[in-house]
Structure 1
Amino acid sequence: MSQSFNRIVWSALTSRQQGFARSNSLAVRFDPQISPFAASKNNSQDALQALADLIGPGDDYVYLLQKEAISLPSNLEAEFSALGVLMTEQTASTPKPDGPDIRPLVTSDIPEMVALAELTKPGPFKHRTPELGAFWGIKIDDRLAAMAGTRLNLDGFTEVSGICTHPDFQGRGLATSLSRHVASEIRARGDTPFLHAFADNHGAIALYRKLGFEIWSEVNVAKVRHRP
C-alpha cells in the first residue's frame, strides 16, 4: 500500500484510470477537461521535465498530490502549496437505515453538481469529473443539498471525494450520511476507501475519524504552472 500511496496520482493513472491519462514515459496527467491532477514518476530531472512537457503554456495548470516532497524544474512554479493528509478506512461505518434518501446522480444533475462544488470548494471539480466514478446526492425541495462520490481509483483502493453540503442545508448530518454511503459502496466492490483533507481542516479530520478513517500519512499538494 505505501508504495502506491507515495505518488497516488501516478498509481491511479498507470493502473485502473490509465484510460483518462495523457502521458509520456515519466509523467502523467488526467485529461484536463476531467481533472487537473498530475504526477511525475519520481523527482529525477528527466521526470520533472517530462511533467513540464505535459503542461501547456498560458493558463494551463496541474495539481500535484504526493507524500514525497514536491520538486519542480526551473521552468515550473508553484502558485499554491499546502500540507494535507491521506486517510484510510480502518473501521467500517455502516449507513443508518433511517438516514436521508440518497440517490445516484446522473448526467442531468451535472450543472447543479458543478454549481455546488464551485460554491463549497470541496476540491477541483469540472463538468467531466463525474466520469471518474459514481456520485450520489441528497435532494431537498428539488435542490441538490449535498453530494459525494469517488475520484482516484487504483488497484485495491478507491477515494471518497467531492463531499460537500450547500450552506442552506448544513448542520443536518448530510455529509456524514453521504460519506458512509460512498464508503459502503466502495467496500461492496472489494476496495478499501480512502480520502484526503487539508492538514489544518481539523473539523473534517475529526469527522472522518468518527467514520472510521485514520491518517496514513501527511501529503504535499501544489498547484503548478509554467513560469511566465
Structure 2
Amino acid sequence: MLARPVWQSLHAGWAGRAVRHGSAVRLHRDFGPFAAVDPGGDPADLAALANAGEELWLVEPEPLPPPPGFALTRQGQLLQMACDGLAGSARSVTARVLGDADALAMQALAAVTRPGPFHAHTHRLSDFLGVEDGGRLLAMAGERMQPPGHAEVSGVCTHPDAQGRGLAAALSWQIAARIVARGQRPFLHVWPDNAHAVALYQRLGFAESGRPWLSLYTKL
C-alpha cells in the first residue's frame, strides 16, 4: 500500500510544484488541492497554504480531524488499486495527447463528469490522452500522483453522451501501459461503492492494494 501517496508525491514527482510552510506542504494551487504534513509535524501549518474558502485534500492511512482553522467538508475511505501485470492488449481507440490548447475543453469535461479536482494546470501534470469526435472532447485520462516508482492513473472520464463505448477502459489501459513502459507501477484510487469502475480496473489487471482515507478540509 502507498500509505501516504500525496506526501510521497510532493517529495518526488511533484517536488518541483510543491509549496511549503513549516511542516506542511501542498501542490501549487494551479495544479490541484492536495496537501500533507510531514511525519511528526504540526497540522496547524496547513493554514498558511490555503485562502479562505479554499479546499485542501489529504490522503492518509487514517481519518484525521480538521486542522486548526479548517472545517471538514467530506471524508471517506478510498479503494487503492495497483497493477503488477497489465491485462489484455492495446484497445482499438484513436486517442491523441492533449495540451494547453485543450485546457478549457478538458476543464469543461471534468466539470460535467467530476473525475476529481481538475484545476487550471492539472493537465500539465502529465500527458493526458483524449478521444474526440468532430473536434469535441468525449473522453480523457492521464496521470496525477507521482510517488517514487509509481504513477497514478487519474482524470479518467467520459462525457455522458459517449458512455458505453469502452473509452474509459481503452484510455486507462493506454495510460497504464505508458507507466509500465517507463518501469513504474500504475496505481489508482476509486470509491469502493463504484462497482462499475472497480470491475473495469480489475479487468485491466488492477487489484486492491490499500484503503487510505480522503479528507477534504475548507479553510475558514
TM more than 0.5: yes
TM-score (norm 1): 0.91
Q: What pairs up with 1:125-164 in 2 under 5 angstroms?
A: 125-164=118-157
Uncovered stretches (5+) of structure 2, i.e. residues with no partner: none
Which secondary structure does the structure 2 equivalent of 1:122 belong to?
A: coil
Q: Is the 8 A contact 2:79 2:189 kept in 1?
A: yes
Letter in 2 for 1:88: A
% same residue: 36
Q: Which of the numbers 64, 67, 70 marks the counterpart of 2:58? A: 64
**Corresponding position: 1:178 with 2:171:** yes
Instruction: Give the paired residue count.
Output: 220
Please report how far the alpha carbon of residue 202 of structure 1 lies from its aligned counterpart in structure 2 after TM superposition. Answer: 1.6
Which secondary structure does the structure 2 equivalent of 1:49 belong to?
A: helix
Please report how far the alpha carbon of residue 74 of structure 1 lies from its aligned counterpart in structure 2 after TM superposition. Answer: 3.8
Match of 2:210 in 1: 217
Q: Which of the numbers 83, 91, 94 marks the counterpart of 1:89? A: 83
Match of 2:113 in 1: 120
**What do the CA deviations read for 1:132-176 (whole angstroms, capped 9, x no partner)?**
111001112221111000111121000000000011111010100
Match of 2:45 in 1: 50
Q: Is the 8 A contact 1:150 1:162 kept in 2?
A: yes
Which secondary structure does the structure 2 equivalent of 1:153 belong to?
A: coil
Task: Assess, with a 3 A threshold, how the Cα gap between structure 1 residues 23 and 177 changes in structure 2: closer, same or farther.
Answer: same
Q: Which of the numbers 8, 13, 38 marks the counterpart of 2:10? A: 13
Please report how far the alpha carbon of residue 216 of structure 1 lies from its aligned counterpart in structure 2 after TM superposition. Answer: 0.7
State the alpha-carbon separation in 2 of the partners of residues 140 and 73 from structure 1: 45
Which secondary structure does the structure 1 equivalent of 2:12 belong to?
A: coil
Q: Is the 8 A contact 2:56 2:218 kept in 1?
A: yes
Q: Is the 8 A contact 2:63 2:75 kept in 1?
A: no
TM-score (norm 2): 0.94
Letter in 2 for 1:10: W
Q: Which runs of 4+ in 1 moved over 6 A?
A: none
**Corresponding position: 1:73 with 2:64:** no
**Corresponding position: 1:30 with 2:27:** yes
Which secondary structure does the structure 1 equivalent of 2:146 belong to?
A: strand
